[in-house]
Amino acid sequence: MRIATWNVNSIGARLPRLRAWLESAAPDVLCVQELKCADDAFPREQLAELGYESASYGLGRWNGVAVLSRIGIEDVTRGLVDEPRYEEATEPRAIGATCGGVRVWSVYVPNGREPEHPHYQYKLRWLEALRATVAAETAATDKPFAVLGDFNIAPTDTDVWDISLFADSTHVTEAERKALAVLRDAGLTDVLPRPLKYDHPYTYWDYRALAFPKNRGMRIDLVYADATFGAAVGDAYVDREERKGKGSSDHAPVVVDLEL
DNA sequence: ATGCCGAGTTCGACTCGA
């Protein structure tokens, strides 16, 4: 079984490349983030033509997550346990679904903007709600389980191209990394993908300043898997080819092959 | 060549991203 995650940075703008990638990479399940579209505008039929069912959670121009599957979608859950709101608004950032006997969550963790910004505290509260959701779900089922998506956290200093440039920046702070450690304490492990080129499995490169050609990237799209899911992992890689060329997302897909 | 930011909103300057 092949499961992937990809922040597409607008499913509308990315639809031609998304469809081509689904045909070439042929994942059984794809967790998608940053739809930037409401559910009534979700391109359900265009994905169904390729054999994928969709469960989406989008409210408009920002955020939005989905699970695509060609092996069935059941028990869809939108939002987290005791999920915080930002400026009194609910943001669509998490959707869970069971596909082919595997429980997956597609998540788009808040960015945080700056450590002193209210959005950063929102990010930490949101990560606590994710922990609570993981604890509740893994206690209730023995299905292989994983949270996949854009965590907006670089787990270690080597997960950014130059840590010296990240002083006082979000994505690398102690508190954010502690939130990942808490998820690991809850029984999840970081499935480290292999890079297809260079030394580090970056998943994101800014559109600006030649970041991709210079390989100034970050590993922020993560797969956090429970023991059952983790034990089944045969291969994992970042499909950096998909970051190339015109009309790409600024994130590359992370692909995980399970021996299930 | 991997190439100098892109998307949505609502028609063009703004917000957001990390």
What's A80's domain CATH number? 3.60.10.10
Ranges of residues in chain A with a pLDDT under 50 are none
The helix (run of H) or strand (run of E) holding residue A225 is strand A221-225
Question: How would DSSP label each residue in A36-81?
Answer: -S-GGG--HHHHHTTT-EEEEE--SSS--EEEEESS--EEEEES-T
Domain with A177 in it? 2-258
Would the annotation count A34 as a binding residue? yes
Residue A119 CB lies within 7 Å of the nucleic strand B: yes
* pTM beyond 0.85, yes or no: yes
Contacts of A193 by beta carbon, 8 Å cutoff, 6+ apart: A201, A203, A223, A236, A237, A238, A254, A255, A256
Nearest nucleotide (CA of A36 to C1'): B8
Known catalytic membership, residue A200 = no
